[in-house]
Every structure is written in structure tokens, then in C-alpha cells.
């Protein structure tokens, strides 16, 4: 039957579980444990591991601030280079009140494929140092 318990003044009803639901939960828990073992075996640097004194320590090695600055700057550059063509089409749609296919056709006719990245220089010079500093200072 259903079990009743009062927690915080309210009565809750717990429904009985079927054997298949319990079996499914046990199988999922077993799969989670197997997956955790696989991940910890494949990626030992990312897991917390005990040191020689038995204390838990963070096994992730912090890279130098310069490497983090360069990595963040590279990420910012990738963001701008991938996203700028979409922004170009959006701005052309707003200026000329046209559809996406018309904006695409006009961009290619006016400047070729490179026309999608026309004007990317200023956002690129702004995002590289910005993302570099943000990425570098994230762990502080």
C-alpha cells in the first residue's frame, strides 16, 4: 500500500514502485558507476586524487597566466570570425528591410565571400584582449 509520512506538517503519499522501475534504476546507477570509472581511468588529471599524505587535492594543474590569456584571446577571435557573417546579414536586413536570401545575395554580389567579414577588424581587436583578460581572470 501507499506509505504516509508527515514532513513539515504536510502529509505526502509515496506510491509503491514496480519491480521494473526498481530494476531500471539499479541498471542506471550501475551504468553511472561504470561511466565514472571509465572517465576517471581515461582522464586522471581531471579527477580529484589523494596526495602522499592522503589529503584530497585538486589535480588540475593551473597553466601560466600567459597561456590562459592567449587561449582566451584565441577563443574571442574564433567567436568573432564565426559570428561576424551572421551579424553582417542581420545588419543588412535591418538597413534595407529585406529577407535573408536577398541579404545573402547582395552581400555576395557586392564583395564576394569576403564580404561577409567586411568590418570584422574592429570587433576582432576588441574581443581578443577582452576575452583574454576574462579567461585569464576567471580562476582568480
At 30-55, the pLDDT tens digits run 555 665 565 555 554 444 555 556 56
As a whole number of angstroms, the distance between CA 63 and CA 86 comes to 34
Give mean pLDDT, residues 5-24: 52
Share above pLDDT 90 across residues of the chain, in percent, rounded to a whole number: 47
* H runs (alpha helix) in 1-140: 19-42, 65-96, 100-111, 121-137
Q: What angle do CA 76, 81, 82 make, to 5 degrees?
A: 100
Contact present, 15 and 8 (Cβ < 8 Å): no
Confidence at residue 134, expressed as pLDDT on a 0 to 100 scale? 93
Q: Could you tell me the pLDDT band of residue 76, with boundaries at 50, 70 and 90?
A: very high
Contact present, 11 and 5 (Cβ < 8 Å): yes
Q: Could you tell me the pLDDT band of residue 139, with boundaries at 50, 70 and 90?
A: confident
Half-sphere exposure of residue 20: CA atoms within 13 angstroms, side-chain side:
0
Give mean pLDDT, residues 72-89: 96
Q: What is the pTM of this model?
A: 0.54
Give mean pLDDT, residues 47-66: 60
Which of 20-24, 32-36, 62-66, 112-116 has the highest average model confidence (pLDDT)? Answer: 112-116
What single DSSP character describes residue 103?
Answer: H
15 has a pLDDT exceeding 60: no
Q: What is the mean pLDDT of the chain?
A: 76
Amino acid at each position: 500500500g501507499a506509505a504516509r509520512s508527515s514532513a513539515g506538517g504536510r502529509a505526502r503519499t509515496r506510491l509503491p514502485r514496480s519491480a521494473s522501475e526498481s530494476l531500471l534504476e539499479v541498471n542506471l546507477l550501475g551504468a553511472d558507476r561504470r561511466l565514472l570509472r571509465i572517465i576517471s581511468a581515461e582522464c586522471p588529471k581531471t579527477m580529484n586524487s589523494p596526495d602522499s599524505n592522503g589529503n584530497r587535492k585538486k589535480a588540475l594543474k593551473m597553466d601560466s597566466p600567459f597561456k590562459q590569456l592567449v587561449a582566451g584571446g584565441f577563443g574571442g577571435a574564433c567567436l568573432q570570425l564565426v559570428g561576424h557573417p551572421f551579424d553582417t546579414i542581420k545588419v543588412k536586413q535591418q538597413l534595407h528591410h529585406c529577407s535573408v536570401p536577398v541579404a545573402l545575395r547582395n552581400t555576395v554580389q557586392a564583395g564576394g565571400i569576403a564580404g561577409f567579414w567586411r568590418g570584422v577588424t574592429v570587433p576582432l581587436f576588441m574581443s581578443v584582449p577582452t576575452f583574454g583578460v576574462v579567461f585569464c581572470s576567471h580562476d582568480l
